[in-house]
Amino acid sequence: MDALLTALADPARWRLLSLLAERPRSVGVLAQLTDARQPQTTKHLQTLERAGVVTSQRTGQRRIYTLRPGPLRDLAAALSQLADTADQADGPGETHDRYGLSVDAERLAAQESGWADGRSFTFHRSLTGRPELVWRHLTDTALLTHWWTPEDLRASELVFEARPGGRIVQEYRDAEDIADSHPVVGRADGVVDDVRPGEHLAYRLSPLLPDGRLAFTAHVAMCLGPTSTGTDLDVRWRITDSTVDSADFIAGIEIGFGQSLDKLAATLTAYAHDTFTDTDNTATRSAR
């Protein structure tokens, strides 16, 4: 594939392929049609032949070149698959495009300090697991690490002291930067305001700008309610202390925290499945 892509990168060779797609042709005719010297045309055709996209055969005093469509179809299929992957509904590409539109809108709105104060964002998820289990995933640092970031980030440092006045520290890195070799993507500091285990959690969280200033303060309230199938989680974000430079951060709240909650839901579902499987296996062994 690499040799084919290299061969196709030259406009002169691409022109030769276009002519050979119409019919097999000799070197002389191809040189004439492309207004090129024959030795130069021969070199291009040899490159295409090594890439496997053309084949040649000597007939008398002429060498006739023929296009091989198979490699081009394979390349077309590979390119189509790449396009389909990037174009998948609700995929990373579409999410990035939505974030870009949100950034543009928020930057236009961010004209002075306090521009976003009073803005709120609400989220709702119906989660697998009783409120006690969900509460653990909301407050236990080891469990928070698994879900408290958007899809493209990971928590490289996380502190969550689940008590009134407790500290919150979040440090983010690129999800694929496993070796911590790249700069920190973001950091946020906060404090816990209210803790009612299994029912209500409230805290303030402030992302930091690159120069260390607060971008804004998010007042986050989480309410848990038991249901017949698990727990309903309702979350409300309210913005205060917004700076002009906070536009990019605020633009990502709905998408980013939404992705985090989706990860939480998936984590709880997987936990329930694993618990059920372990219980079922234990019962089967006991029956024996």
pLDDT for position 59? 85
Report the share of the chain in percent with pLDDT over 70.
95
- Give the chain's largest Cα–Cα span: 92
What's the number of CA atoms in the CB half-sphere (13 Å) around residue 209? 14
- Look at residue 105 in the predicted model and tell me its pLDDT: 94
Q: What are the phi and psi torsion angles at 61 (to 5°)?
A: -90, 0
Q: What is the pLDDT of residue 106?
A: 95
pLDDT digits (tens, 9 = 90+) for 209-233: 999 999 999 999 999 999 999 999 9
Compare 272 and 3 and report the one with higher pLDDT: 3
Q: What are the distances in angstroms from CA 64 to CA 41, 67, 159?
A: 13, 10, 71
* Of 180 and 55, the one with more pLDDT: 55
Q: Kindly tell me if the per-residue pLDDT of 280 is higher than 80.
A: no
Count of beta carbons in the 10 Å neighbourhood of residue 177:
15
* CB of 109 closer than 8 Å to CB of 115: yes
CA distance 104 to 86: 22
- Counting Cα atoms < 13 Å in the Cβ hemisphere of 89 gives 0
Quote the percentage of the chain above a pLDDT of 90. Answer: 81
* Cβ–Cβ under 8 Å, residues 201 and 139: yes
- pTM, entire model: 0.73
Q: What was the pLDDT predicted at 182? A: 87
Q: Name residue, tokens 């407790």.
A: 166
96/106 Cα distance (integer angstroms)? 15
Sequence ranges of the domains in the chain: 2-70, 112-274
158, β-bridge pairs:
170
In the predicted model, is pLDDT for residue 145 greater than 90? Answer: yes
- Stronger pLDDT, 217 or 62, i.e. the higher one: 217
Residue with tokens 């389909």: 84
pLDDT recorded at residue 278: 55
Q: Between 73 and 98, whose confidence is greater?
A: 73
**DSSP collapsed to 3 states, the chain:** CHHHHHHHCCHHHHHHHHHHHHCCEEHHHHHHHCCCCHHHHHHHHHHHHHCCCEEEEEECCEEEEEECHHHHHHHHHHHHHHHHHHCCCCCHHHHHHHHHHHHHHHHHHCCCCCCCCCCEEEEEEEEECCHHHHHHHHHCHHHHCCCCCCCCEEEEEEEECCCCCCEEEEEEEECCCCCCCCCCCEEEEEEEEEEECCCEEEEEEEEECCCCCECCEEEEEEEEEECCCEEEEEEEEEEECCCHHHHHHHHCHHHHHHHHHHHHHHHHHHHHHHHHHHHHHHHHHHHC
How far separated are the first and last CA of the chain, in Å rounded?
56
pLDDT tens digit string along 74-87? 999 999 999 888 88
Fold (CATH) for 2-70: Arc Repressor Mutant, subunit A (1.10.10)
Q: What is the rounded average pLDDT of the residues 114-123?
A: 97
Q: What is the CATH number of domain 112-274?
A: 3.30.530.20
